[in-house]
A and B are shown apart, each in its own frame.
Chain A
Amino acid sequence: MMPSSATPAPLLSAHRLAFSRNDEPVFGPLDFSIGRGETVLVEGDNGSGKTTLLRVLAGMLPPSAGEIRFEGAPATRDVCDGRLLWLGHRSGMNESLSARENLEFLAGLYGVHADVDAEAAMQRVGIAGWIDEPLRALSAGQKKRVALARLLLLPGDLWLLDEPYANLDRHGIELVNALVTGHCAGDGAALVTSHGAVRFADPCARHIHLEA
């Protein structure tokens, strides 16, 4: 890693970023940046393009216009791969496998091969007792917690969390907030979407508001 210069480039920045689906503008043009230690909350009603924005930032969709920079460099696959963690509507985990198997596989996918402590991660998200159950035996909220446990195991500077609060009870919401706060305190950053019904941890967090 380069020694930090006088003005370190933000972890991620978007310049005039816009996306259109079938020529219908979905969001943008947007300008924003996220530095290390920062949390940004993306707000907007259903259909305002929150998920699409995150998918574009994750490189799953190409932007229609504008540019994404990662630490000052254009965000190509080589630059971003492994630096982003994605938590989407789809869990990214197989229902026939247990939480432990899923977590160990995903850790391996990210190149973490030594001492994957799935148990500690499951303990942290409060469902350690379910670690060896096949995922399909878990409730929607419990699955969400397993997905959150993944965030603890995988390395990644920027968390892209799409509706992390969905399906979670009050304790679960506090858990998400605690995880995000912990990640940002450890020099990470997070971009979190929410439709605005949830009280977010950090009242000073920056907001991006998307209009439908």
Chain B
Amino acid sequence: MSRSYIPHWIHWLGSPPNFYRFAGAWRPWLMAAALAAGAIGLYGGLVLAPPDYQQGDAYRIIFIHVPSAWMSLAIYAGMAVAGLIALVWRVKLAEVIAMESAPIGAAFTLVTLVTGSLWGKPMWGTWWTWDARLTSELVLLFLYLGVIGLYHAFEDRRRGARAASLLALVGVVNLPIVHYSVQWWNTLHQGSTVDLFGRSSIAPSMLWPLLVMALATHLYYFASILGRARTDLLSLESGKQWVRELVEEQPAQRQGAPT
């Protein structure tokens, strides 16, 4: 199992002490950038963008709903890629990233569902409707919960991470099937779903805040995963030389690991 075809920098980053330092250095900057982009995006979306001629101000929830929905899928994809690396090459860092991505992805999925339901109230007059997109998102939430639950059901964390990674990969095959089956089912049972953002093109004044918000959520994810993976590595590697040195370096001011 030679690793010669893996680029050098990935190999370097795969070493826990290197990653720990890299993540510690980058996390504050990414988080700051995420907050800045989020502020700009929300200002643009909630203040600058004009009200929709059909939906009034209610549509503004898309500036949270849509980026969250994108993230819920993007994080799942990222988790599956990390899981594949964890399964094939048994890279500890990949296991950590896959498993720490799952709660973040589940949170974005939950945000998507909640905002979708809030949006549904003025649009459809009901909190929940079995709309194809919302239903797929709900199934996605269960996929995330299954991965998290399986991971925590193992006593050996690394074995749990690999089992959960395999489940995540099964989910990758399953997700498109769920998507199309739900769409088919939806057209079968209720012909008239309101197409929330139809085929009509979106105005530039609404588009740029949406894209900035998407950037903000991505940055937030990266900042968050670096922080979570960093903490996780610290506890997985506790007892190792580099962790001991780290603790000796910073005696008093940091008792607990940063979260």
Give me the interface of A with B, judged by CB distance under 8 Å: 22-24, 62
Contacts and interface: CB of A to CB of B under 8 A. Distances in A.
Q: Interface residues of B: mostly helix, strand, loop or mixed?
A: loop
Contacts of A24: 239
Given A22-B236, A23-B237, A23-B240, A62 B90 contact: yes
A131 to B, nearest CB: 38
A61 B158 CA distance: 13
Contacts of A23: 237, 239-240
A62 B88 CA distance: 12
A24 B237 CA distance: 10
Contacts of B158: 22
Contacts of B239: 23-24
Contacts, number: 7
A24 B241 CA distance: 12
Interface of B: 90, 158, 236-237, 239-240
A80 to B, nearest CB: 16
Contacts of A22: 158, 236
Contacts of B240: 23
A185 B59 CA distance: 83
A15 to B, nearest CB: 15
A34 B142 CA distance: 51
A22 B16 CA distance: 13
7 contacts: A22-B158, A22-B236, A23-B237, A23-B239, A23-B240, A24-B239, A62-B90
Interface centre among A22, A24, A62 (most CB of B within 10 A): A22
B228 to A, nearest CB: 19
Contacts of B90: 62
A24 B158 CA distance: 13
A62 B162 CA distance: 14
Q: Top 3 closest A-B pairs, CB basis?
A: A23-B240, A23-B237, A22-B158
Contacts of A62: 90
B253 to A, nearest CB: 27
Nearest to A23: B240
Nearest to B237: A23
Nearest to B240: A23
A73 to B, nearest CB: 16
Contacts of B237: 23
B137 to A, nearest CB: 36
A22 B92 CA distance: 10
A24 B236 CA distance: 11
A22 B235 CA distance: 11
Nearest to B16: A23
B27 to A, nearest CB: 24
A61 B246 CA distance: 32
B43 to A, nearest CB: 47
B123 to A, nearest CB: 51
A23 B95 CA distance: 15
A22 B239 CA distance: 10
A76 to B, nearest CB: 11
A169 B136 CA distance: 62
A191 B239 CA distance: 33
A24 B240 CA distance: 9
A51 to B, nearest CB: 15
B154 to A, nearest CB: 13
Contacts of B236: 22
A22 B155 CA distance: 12
